[in-house]
Structure 1
Amino acid sequence: MMNLTQVVFSEEKGWNTTYKTTDFSPGKANLVLAFSAKKLLSDTELTDSIQERYPNAEVVFCSTAGEIAGVHVDDDTIACTAIQFEKTSLKTTILNIGDFESSFELGSKIPEALGVSGLKHILLISDGQLVNGTELTNGISEATPESVIITGGMAGDAANFSETIVGLNKEIGTGNVVGIGFYGDHLNVKYGTMGGWDEFGPHRTVTKSNGNILYELDGKSALDLYKKYLGPKANELPGSALLFPLSMQTTPEREPLVRTILSINEDDKSMIFAGDIPQGSTVRFMKSNFDRLIDGASIAASNSLDKENDHLKPQLVLLISCVGRKLVLDQRIEEEVEAVEEVFGKNVCYGGFYSYGELAPSQRNTKCDLHNQTMTLTTYFES
C-alpha cells in the first residue's frame, strides 16, 4: 500500500500540510509531483528545498494554469504530492524537444528510455507550448505495448500562453517532457476523461489544414465562419476562443476529441489549435454549459472506477483539467473538483493542475490521445 503526503507552498503562508497518511516517511518517498505557478519554479532555493525535503525521490516539476490540492484550486502556489510506493518500481526520463526533429520522434523514444519489461503505466508531463501534443501521443503510443496505460498533461502558464516549464530534479526549463514509468503487478491504474460542452451548428468538413492550423471548413474560411457563430464575442478574440472550442471526429469509429483554439491569424484567415486538425475530419462548434461541465467531471470520475474490483478504492486521484474550463467556471471552479470527491469519498489524496492539454485514452480506445477542455483523471491503488 502506498503512503502519501501533500504540502502546499504560498508566499503568504509558507508550507502547509494538507494531507498525510500515518506511515508516510519523507526519506522513503520515491516520487514527488510538484505542480506550480511558473514564477515560483525560477526560485532555485525553493525547488532545491523540495528535493532536500524528499532526498530519495524523483521530483517532477510542472508549471500550471492553477494548482489542485484536495478540493481546493489555487493560483501562485506549489502543490507537492509525495508518494511512497512499497511494491511498485519507478523509472524516470527527461527529453527536450530541441534534441529531436519532431514531437512524434520524442514521444517514440520515451518507452525506449524507460524500458517496457514489466511496464504498467506511463505518466507523461510535457511542455505545453513547444511540444505538439498530438504528435507526442502518437509517437509514444506507437512505441508502447497496448497493455500500458498512458496518461498525463501539458504544462500551463495561467492564461498567458507565453512559455511553460517542466523539470525533473535539477533539470528544469522549457521544451522538456518527463516520462515516469510504473512497473509491477501491485499497482492498479484506472483513468477517465470527459468534457461537458454543448455542440451547436451543423457538422462541417475540414477541407484545408496543416497540422494544428485550420484554414477552411466546407471550402470556406474557417475564421470567418467562427466569427459568425461567436457574434459579439468575436471582438474579444483570441481570448474568447477558449470559451468556444471545436468538437472533432477523425473517423466514425473514434470518439470525438475537443480542440482548443490558441490564436488566430487575420492575414491568412487561419486558426491555430492546441492539437492537430486533420484534413477530412468533421467538426462542430461548442459552447459552455456550467452544469454539464461539472457533471462531466463527475462522469470522468465514475468512468475511472474499477467496476470489476470495487474494493480497490483509489488512494491517489490525479486530476488534470483544462485552463478553458477554469476560465468558464471561474468562481465555481472548485465545484468540479468537489464533484470528483463525491464519487471517491474524502479519505483519498487529490492532487493535480490546470493544463494546456490533457493526455489519456478515450473511453472506447486504448491509444492515448491529446484532449482539450476535459477533466481527465488517473487513479492509483497499490495492493
Structure 2
Amino acid sequence: MKEGIYYDCINDFLNKNRDIETKKLLLVAEYTNFELKKLESYSGEIIGAVVPFIVYNNEFFNKGIISCDLEEENNFLLIENLKEFSIEDSFFKKSKSLVVLVDGLSSYISDFLDNLFQNIPENTQVIGGGAGKMTFERDPVIFTKNQFCKDSAIIISLNKKLNLGIQNGWEYLEGPFLTTNSEKNILKTLNFKNAFEVYKQVVEKDSGKKFTDDNFFDIAKSYPLGIIKYDKEVIVRDPIFVDSDNNMVLVGDIPQNSTINILKGKEDNLIKSSGIATKKAMEQIDLNNENYCVVVFDCISRAIFLGDRFVEELEEMKKNINPSKNLFGALTLGEIANNGDEYITFYNKTCVTGILC
C-alpha cells in the first residue's frame, strides 16, 4: 500500500485517475457527496469504507476522500457477513501485515477478529478501524464498486512490514467494577446493579453535570470505560447511548465477568499520547529507509473530546515523522491493532499509528 492522497470530492478523484487501473482503497468522509454508481467509470478495482472524518497531515475533514494505491501483489477480501464467514488460509500466504476495516457498529466484531487471528501467519501485524457515521445509524458503510454492505469488513493483505504505536492517554477515575451481565456490546449490570445507574452516579459526581434524555453522549465522551486485561493493559470502551431498557450501548464488545474502571481524560495527556504512539512506531524503522508511509486510525470521540485542540493532536503526530512524509488515515468508530503474535484487539478512544515499510 502506498501513501494516501487527498481529494476533496469523488469527481476530483475520478478526473485525476482516468485510464488508471491500479487497485485502490478509498476512505470516504461521512458528509461527502458520494454516489457508488460513479465508481463504475474507474477502470481498476476499488474497495473502501465510509468514516466520520478523514485525516491528511494536520487537518481532518468530514467531506473528501483519501485514496491509497494497492500494489499488484496486494490482495483484498470483502467479508460480506461478519456473522457467517470463513477465510481461506491461502489468502494470507504472503502476508506480513494487514489493513482491516470493519463495520464499527456491528455486534460481531470480536468474533470476526478472533477468527481472523486464528488464520493469519505468526507475527503478522494488523492495523485498521471501525467504519461508520456519527449518526450511529446502522447504514451500510463498507463498499466495492458494485455494492454497499453492513455487518461486513475488508481485509487487505500487504507484503510490507508494519510497525505500530498504540496509546490512549485516559486515566483512572473509579473502580474496579465487575461486569455481571453483558451481551456483546450491551452492558447491563455492574456489581449486580444497573450499569447506567452505577456509571451515572460516578460521572455526575465528578463532572457536576446531570444526564438527561438527550445529553448522554455529550457527557459520556469524557468518561469512557476501561477493560482491565490480564497483562494490566486497559482496553477503552466508548459508551454511545442508553437503550430503551436502560442498558449502556458501547462501541465494541464487553465480556461478561470482565473487570472495568471508569476513566476520565485530560486534554494535554491525550495530545501527548498521540505523539508517543507515533514516536514508538517510528523508533522501529531503519533510519536509512525512506521508503515508508505513515497511516493513522484515531478515534472520532477523541476529536470530539478535544474540540478545537484536536488539531494539536495531529500536529503532535506530524512532528514525529519526516516532514517530507504525509500523515493520512481516518477518525474511526473503534481502532484495530495487534503486536506480532498477540490477539487482535478492537480499541476505542485510542490513537493507533502504523509505519508501513
Asked if Structure 1 and Structure 2 have the same fold, meaning a TM-score greater than 0.5 normalized by the shorter chain, the answer is yes
Deviations 1:75-111 (A, max 9, x none): 122222335x4xx7211111212xx6x2xx53xx24x
**Distance between the aligned counterparts of 2:327 and 2:39, measured in 1?**
22
Q: Report the equivalent of 2:74.
A: 90
- The structural deviation recorded for 1:46 is 4.2
Q: Report the equivalent of 2:113.
A: 137
**Distance between the aligned counterparts of 1:308 and 1:378, measured in 2?**
11
* Alignment-mate amino acid for residue 25 of structure 2: L
- The structural deviation recorded for 1:67 is 1.0
Within-5 A mapping of 1:1-383: 4=3, 6-10=5-9, 15=12, 30-40=22-32, 42-44=34-36, 46-48=38-40, 52=42, 55-56=43-44, 58-83=45-70, 85=71, 89-97=73-81, 102=83, 105-106=84-85, 109-110=86-87, 112=88, 115-183=91-159, 187-231=160-204, 232-235=209-212, 236-250=215-229, 252-253=230-231, 255-265=233-243, 267=245, 269-307=246-284, 309-313=286-290, 315-361=292-338, 366-381=342-357
In structure 2, list runs of 5 or more residues that go unmatched.
none
* Alignment-mate amino acid for residue 155 of structure 1: A
8 Å CA contact retained: 1:199, 1:287: yes
* Alignment-mate amino acid for residue 49 of structure 2: C
* Alignment-mate amino acid for residue 258 of structure 1: V
Question: Cα 1:328–1:3, aligned 2, differ >3 Å: closer, same or farther?
Answer: closer
- The structural deviation recorded for 1:204 is 1.4
8 Å CA contact retained: 2:29, 2:61: no
**Distance between the aligned counterparts of 2:178 and 2:328, measured in 1?**
38
Deviations 1:94-132 (A, max 9, x none): 1212xx6x2xx53xx24x176222221121111222353
- The structural deviation recorded for 1:342 is 1.0
- The structural deviation recorded for 1:333 is 1.7
* Alignment-mate amino acid for residue 75 of structure 2: K
- The structural deviation recorded for 1:278 is 1.4
- Number of residues of Structure 1 aligned to a counterpart in Structure 2: 350
8 Å CA contact retained: 1:67, 1:354: yes
Stretch deviating more after TM superposition (300-309 or 202-211) = 300-309
- The structural deviation recorded for 1:217 is 1.5
Question: Cα 1:42–1:77, aligned 2, differ >3 Å: closer, same or farther?
Answer: closer
- The structural deviation recorded for 1:48 is 3.9
Alignment identity in percent? Answer: 20
**Distance between the aligned counterparts of 1:300 and 1:344, measured in 2?**
11
Question: Cα 1:357–1:3, aligned 2, differ >3 Å: closer, same or farther?
Answer: closer
* Alignment-mate amino acid for residue 177 of structure 1: A
* Alignment-mate amino acid for residue 228 of structure 1: Q
Question: Cα 1:266–1:227, aligned 2, differ >3 Å: closer, same or farther?
Answer: farther
1:118 counterpart SS class: coil
Stretch deviating more after TM superposition (171-180 or 270-279) = 171-180
Q: Whose strand proportion is higher, 1 or 2?
A: 1
Instruction: Tell me the TM-score normalised to structure 2 length.
Output: 0.87
Stretch deviating more after TM superposition (341-350 or 367-376) = 341-350
* Alignment-mate amino acid for residue 63 of structure 1: V
1:346 counterpart SS class: coil
**Distance between the aligned counterparts of 1:175 and 1:202, measured in 2?**
33
8 Å CA contact retained: 1:258, 1:372: yes
* Alignment-mate amino acid for residue 221 of structure 2: L
In structure 1, list runs of 5 or more residues that go unmatched.
none
- The structural deviation recorded for 1:149 is 1.2
Deviations 1:338-372 (A, max 9, x none): 111111121113211111110001x6962210000
- The structural deviation recorded for 1:71 is 2.0
- The structural deviation recorded for 1:164 is 4.5
8 Å CA contact retained: 1:41, 1:63: no
* Alignment-mate amino acid for residue 7 of structure 2: V
- The structural deviation recorded for 1:283 is 0.7
**Distance between the aligned counterparts of 2:292 and 2:59, measured in 1?**
18
**Distance between the aligned counterparts of 2:161 and 2:32, measured in 1?**
33
1:247 counterpart SS class: strand
Question: Cα 1:159–1:297, aligned 2, differ >3 Å: closer, same or farther?
Answer: farther
